[in-house]
Every structure is written in structure tokens, then in C-alpha cells.
């Protein structure tokens, strides 16, 4: 069964750090680009970061650039998100999501999502 499972969320104080993990099963992580997306309570999804299938390139949205770092260990089928200098506005459910590939074409959609892990930043 193809699935993604996130972990590492929790309640943290502003200014601290947290590392999220996303373990893939049922497919080879190294064959796919991977994203992190978050969703604040009652809000829509917000794309955060993307890493190429081989880890050679990464992109971020402006609100997390310089604070968050996406990485991956394809040998462990695991994607990571290192979050530093956390702020109250980072409070959200964090999802990892897989590139949707049709034939040999990588679309810009997300076809497999994890169940999400909640991050609460509060003093």
C-alpha cells in the first residue's frame, strides 16, 4: 500500500526548532520529487518546500526561506523538514506529499499525502 507517514510534530515555544519526518512505504521515495505543505487551523493548504527526487535542487516559499530546510535520505525512504526559529504563525498541520507522475511526465500536482502532523508554536 502506497503511503506517507509524518511524525515529529508537537507543542514548542517560539524561537525553538523542530524536525519533521515523512516515511514512505509501498513505493521508492528516490523516484519522486517531494513536497511539504502545511495547513493552519481553518485555512487552506500552503505549499512550503520541494526537493527533487535526487536531492539536487530545493525550493521554498518566501515565508519559510532561511528558516526551514527540506532534506531526504532515499536509502531510508524518508523526507525531512528542519524548522528553525519557529513562530506562532507556523502553527499548522504539516503534510508531506508526492509528485504526481503521469507516464514519464512529472506534473505539478500532489497525488499521495500523509495524514499530517500537528505543530503548535506557543509560549
Partner 1 sequence: SYELTQPPSVSVSPGQTARITCSADALPKDYAYWYQQKPGQAPVLVIYKDTERPSGIPVRFSASSSGTTVTLTISGVQAEDEADYYCQSADSSGTYWVFGGGTKLTVL
Contact status, residue 90 vs residue 79, Cβ threshold 8 Å: no
Minimum CB separation of residue 122 from partner 1 in Å reads 21
14/40 with CB nearer partner 1: 40
Closer residue to partner 1 (CB): 27 or 59:
59
Strands 78-83 and 45-51: unpaired
Closer Cβ to partner 1, 19 or 57, answer by number: 57
At a CB cut-off of 8 Å and minimum separation 6, what does 120 contact? 9, 10, 11, 12, 91
Binding positions for partner 1, 23-82, rule CB under 8 A: 35, 43-47, 50, 59, 61-62
Instruction: Count other C-beta atoms under 10 Å from residue 42's C-beta.
Output: 5
- Cα–Cα distance for residue pair 13/98, rounded to 1 Å: 30
Instruction: Give yes or no for residue 3 binding partner 1 (CB under 8 A).
Output: no
Q: Which of residues 80-99 bind partner 1 (CB under 8 A)?
A: 95
* Binding site residues, partner 1, CB under 8 A: 35, 43-47, 50, 59, 61-62, 95, 100, 102, 106-111, 113-116
Amino acid at each position: 500500500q502506497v503511503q506517507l507517514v509524518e511524525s515529529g510534530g508537537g507543542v514548542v515555544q517560539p524561537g525553538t526548532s523542530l524536525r519533521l519526518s515523512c516515511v514512505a512505504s509501498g513505493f521508492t521515495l528516490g523516484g519522486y520529487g517531494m513536497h511539504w505543505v502545511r495547513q493552519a487551523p481553518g485555512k487552506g493548504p500552503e505549499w512550503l518546500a520541494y526537493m527533487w527526487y535526487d536531492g539536487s535542487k530545493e525550493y521554498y516559499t518566501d515565508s519559510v526561506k532561511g528558516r526551514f530546510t527540506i532534506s531526504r535520505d532515499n536509502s531510508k525512504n524518508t523526507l525531512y523538514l528542519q524548522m528553525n526559529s519557529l513562530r506562532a504563525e507556523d502553527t499548522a498541520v504539516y503534510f508531506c506529499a508526492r509528485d504526481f507522475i503521469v507516464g514519464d511526465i512529472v506534473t505539478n500536482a500532489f497525488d499521495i499525502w500523509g495524514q499530517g502532523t500537528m505543530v503548535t508554536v506557543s509560549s
